[in-house]
Amino acid sequence: MLPAARISSRTRRPIGHALTSPSSSASSSRSTCSAFVTSPSRPIHSSPPLQPRSKGKGAYREGEEGEEEEVDEAEDGKSAEKTKDKETETRSSSSSSAADGVGASSAANGAAAGGASGGDGSEGGSSSGSSSSESSSSRQLTSPTVPSVYPQVLALPITRRPLFPGFYKAVVIKDPHVCAAIKESLKRGQPYIGAFLLKDEEGDADTIENLDKVHRTGVFAQITSVFSAQSSKKDSKSGDGEAKDDDSEGLTAVLYPHRRIRIDELLPAHGSPQHAGGNLTPKDDGAHQDSDSGVVVSKDPSDAEAAAKGSPAEHIPSHGAPYQTSFLRNYPVSLVNVSNLDAKPYPKDSQVVRAIKSELISVFKDIATLNPLFRDQIANFSIAQGAGNVFEEPEKLADFAAAVSSGEVGELQDVLEALDVEERLQKALVVLKKELMNAQLQKKISKDVEDKIQKRQREYFLNEQLKGIKKELGIESDGKDKMVEKFKEKAASLKMPEAVRKVFDEELSKLQTLEPAASEFNVTRGYLEWLTNIPWGVHSPENYSIANATTVLDDDHYGLKDVKDRILEFLAVGKLRGTVQGKIICLVGPPGVGKTSIGKSISRALDRQFFRFSVGGLSDVAEIKGHRRTYVGAMPGKAIQALKKVGTENPLVLIDEVDKIGRGHNGDPSSALLEMLDPEQNGSFLDHYMDVPVDLSRVLFVCTANTLDTIPQPLLDRMEVIEVSSYTAEEKRHIAKGYLAPQAKEASGLKNANITLPDQTIEFLIKNHARESGVRSLRKLLEKVYRKIAFNIVREHGETVFPEPKGELQPASEEAVDPNKVAGGSESNAQSVVPPPTPSDSKVSSIAGQNEPSEAEADNKVPARDAPPSPPPKTTTEERKPMEVPPSVNVTITIESLKEYLGPPAHYKDRLFTRNMPSGVANGLGYLGNGSGSLMPIETTLLPSKEGSGGSIQLTGKLGEVIKESANIALSFLKSNGYSLGLAPDEKTNILEGRNVHLHMPEGSIGKEGPSAGVAFVVSLTSLLTDKLIKPDLAMTGEVSLRGMVLPVGGLKEKLLAAHRSGIKTLILPLANRSNVETDVPENVRKAMEIHYVGNVWSALEVAFGEGAWSQRAREMKAEEENEEKERKEEEQRERDAQTASSPSAPEPTKGEDGANKDQPVN
Give the DSSP letter string of 217-259.
EEEEEEEEEEEE-SS-GGGGB-TTSPBPPHHHH-EEEEEEEEE
pLDDT at res. 55: 36
The CATH number of whichever domain residue 393 belongs to comes to 1.20.58
Q: Residue 248's domain is classified under what CATH number?
A: 2.30.130.40
Q: Is residue 1118 part of a domain?
A: no
Give the CATH number, domain containing residue 767.
Answer: 1.10.8.60
Annotated binding residue at 591?
Answer: yes
pLDDT digits (tens, 9 = 90+) for 389-405: 555 678 888 778 788 88
Q: Is 589 marked as binding a ligand?
A: yes
- Looking at per-residue pLDDT, the higher value among 51 and 999 belongs to 999
Pick 340 or 238 by higher pLDDT. 340
Q: Is 295 a residue whose pLDDT tops 70?
A: no
Q: Confirm whether 254 is domain-assigned.
A: yes
Whether residue 4 is predicted with pLDDT greater than 60 in this model: the reply is no
Which of 459-473, 678-692, 1077-1091 is least confident? 459-473
Look at residue 93 and tell me whether its pLDDT is greater than 70. Answer: no
pLDDT at 1082: 86
- Render pLDDT for 120-174 as a digit per residue (tens, 0 to 9): 433 333 333 333 334 333 344 444 577 878 888 888 888 888 888 888 888 888 8
For 541-569, the pLDDT digits (tens) are: 888 889 999 999 988 888 888 888 888 88
**CB proximity list for 26: less than 8 A, separation 6 or greater:** 113, 114, 128, 131, 132, 135
pLDDT of residue 478: 61
Instruction: Tell me 344's DSSP state.
Output: P
Determine the average pLDDT of the residues in 1062-1091. Answer: 90
Looking at residue 446, its pLDDT comes to 84
Residue 1055: active-site member: yes
Q: 400 and 523 share a domain?
A: no
Output Rg (C-alpha) for the chain, integer angstroms: 45
185 pLDDT tier (thresholds 50, 70, 90): confident
Sign of the CA dihedral 484, 490, 493, 496? negative
> Which CATH number belongs to the domain containing residue 558 in this structure?
3.40.50.300
Q: What are phi and psi of 1135, to 5 degrees?
A: -65, -40
Which pLDDT band holds residue 534 (cuts at 50, 70, 90)? Answer: very high
Are residues 986 and 961 part of one domain?
Answer: yes
**What integer is the mean pLDDT of 201-209?**
80
Total residues belonging to the chain: 1163
Of 863 and 606, which is predicted with more confidence?
606
* 112/217 same-domain check: yes
Q: Residue type at 468?
A: G
Element (H, E) at 366: helix 351-370
Which of 511, 533, 555 is at the close of a domain?
Answer: 533
Q: Which of 673, 703, 723 is the last residue of a domain?
A: 723
Tell me: is residue 295 an annotated ligand-binding position. no
Q: Mark whether 889 and 996 lie in a shared domain.
A: no
Amino acid at 294: G
Residue 415 and residue 494 in one domain:
no
Tell me what pLDDT residue 125 has.
37
Answer for the pair 1140, 1146: CB distance below 8 angstroms, yes or no.
yes
- DSSP result, 800-853: HHSPPP-S--EEPPTTTS-HHHHHTT-HHHHT-SSPPPPPTT----EETTEEPP
Q: What per-residue confidence (pLDDT) applies to 272?
A: 42
Task: List the catalytic residue out of 299, 357, 638, 1055.
Answer: 1055
Contact status, residue 432 vs residue 405, Cβ threshold 8 Å: yes
pLDDT surpasses 60 at 673 = yes
Name which of 310-324, 329-343, 433-447, 772-786 the model is least confident about: 310-324
The DSSP secondary-structure symbol of 738 reads I
pLDDT at 1069: 94
How wide is the angle at C-alpha 513 spanned by C-alphas 518 and 500, nearest 5°?
100
Q: Is residue 104 part of a domain?
A: yes
| 1021 pLDDT more than 70 | yes
Q: Would you say 1087 is a known binding-site residue?
A: no
Question: Greater confidence, 628 or 864?
Answer: 628
Inside any domain, residue 457:
no
Residues 304 and 592: their CA atoms lie apart, in Å, by 79
The confidence score (pLDDT) of residue 289 equals: 37
Q: Please list, in sequence order, all residues whose beta carbon lies within 8 angstroms of the beta carbon of residue 692, skipping any fewer than 6 positions away.
A: 499, 500, 503, 531, 686
pLDDT at 809: 45
Give tens-digit pLDDT for 437-465: 888 888 888 888 888 888 888 888 888 88
Both 694 and 746 in a single domain? no
Number of domains, the chain:
6
Gap between the Cα atoms of 837 and 846, Å rounded: 18
Residues 579 and 494 in one domain: no
The more confident residue out of 1020 and 409 is 1020
- Cβ(909)–Cβ(1031) below 8 Å: no
Q: Report pLDDT for 1022.
A: 92
Q: Which domain holds residue 997?
A: 921-1110
Question: Could you tell me the pLDDT band of residue 725, with boundaries at 50, 70 and 90?
Answer: confident
CA separation for the pair 747, 753 (Å, rounded) = 12
Options 94, 1012, 1020, 1099, the catalytic residue: 1012
Could you give the CA distance from residue 501 to residue 507 in angstroms, rounded to a whole number? Answer: 10
Residues 931 and 1027 in one domain: yes
Alpha helices for 1000-1158 (secondary structure H): 1014-1026, 1052-1061, 1074-1080, 1083-1087, 1097-1105, 1111-1142
Of 489-503, 736-750, 787-801, 1142-1156, give the lowest mean pLDDT range: 1142-1156
Confirm whether 831 is domain-assigned. Answer: no
Measured between alpha carbons, how far is 1060 from 911 in angstroms, rounded to an integer?
A: 12
Which has the minimum average pLDDT: 849-858, 919-928, 1008-1017?
849-858
Assign 749 to helix, strand or coil. coil
Do 892 and 1028 fall within a single domain? no
- The whole-number pLDDT of residue 1091 equals 93
DSSP notation for 117-179: -STTSSHHHHHHHHHHHHH-SS---PPP---S---EEEEEEE-SS---TT--EEEEE--HHHH
Task: Give the side-chain half-sphere CA count within 13 A for 659.
Answer: 15
Residue 593 is assigned to a ligand binding site: yes
Whole-number average pLDDT of the chain:
74
Provide, rounded to the nearest whole percent, the portion of the chain with pLDDT above 70: 71
Q: Which residue has the higher pLDDT, 580 or 918?
A: 918
Asked if 1012 is an active-site residue, the reply is yes
For residue 745, say whether it is annotated as part of any ligand binding site: no
pLDDT score of 374 more than 90: no
> H-type helices in 385-493, by residue range?
394-403, 409-417, 421-473, 479-492
Confidence of residue 281 (pLDDT cuts 50, 70, 90): very low
Is the CA virtual torsion 223, 229, 232, 234 positive or negative? Answer: negative
Residue 868 lies in a domain: no
Start-to-end CA distance of the chain, whole Å, equals 80
Q: What percent of the chain has pLDDT over 90?
A: 20
Residue 825's pLDDT is 38
pLDDT of residue 586: 92
Q: Given a cut of 70, is residue 279 above it in pLDDT?
A: no
Supply the CATH number for residue 1087's domain.
3.30.230.10
Question: Is residue 314 domain-shared with residue 198, that is, in the same domain?
Answer: yes
Question: Is residue 356 domain-resident?
Answer: yes
Could you give the CA distance from residue 881 to residue 866 in angstroms, rounded to a whole number?
A: 41
Q: 969 and 1041 in contact (C-beta within 8 Å)?
A: yes
Is residue 238 over pLDDT 50? no
Q: Let me know whether 334 and 406 are in one domain.
A: no
Please tell me which residue, 806 or 453, carries the higher pLDDT value. Answer: 453
Note whether residue 451 is domain-resident.
no
**With left for phi above 0 and alpha for psi between -120 and 50, is residue 63 left, alpha or beta?**
beta
Instruction: Give which of 220, 194, 219 is closest to 207, Cα–Cα.
Output: 194
User: What number of other Cβ atoms are within 10 A of residue 434's Cβ?
Assistant: 15
pLDDT 10s digits, 895-945: 889 888 998 888 766 777 777 789 999 999 998 877 778 889 999 999 888
In a shared domain, residues 522 and 663: no
Question: Does the pLDDT at position 859 exceed 60?
Answer: no
Is residue 850 very low, low, confident or very high in pLDDT (cuts 50, 70, 90)? very low
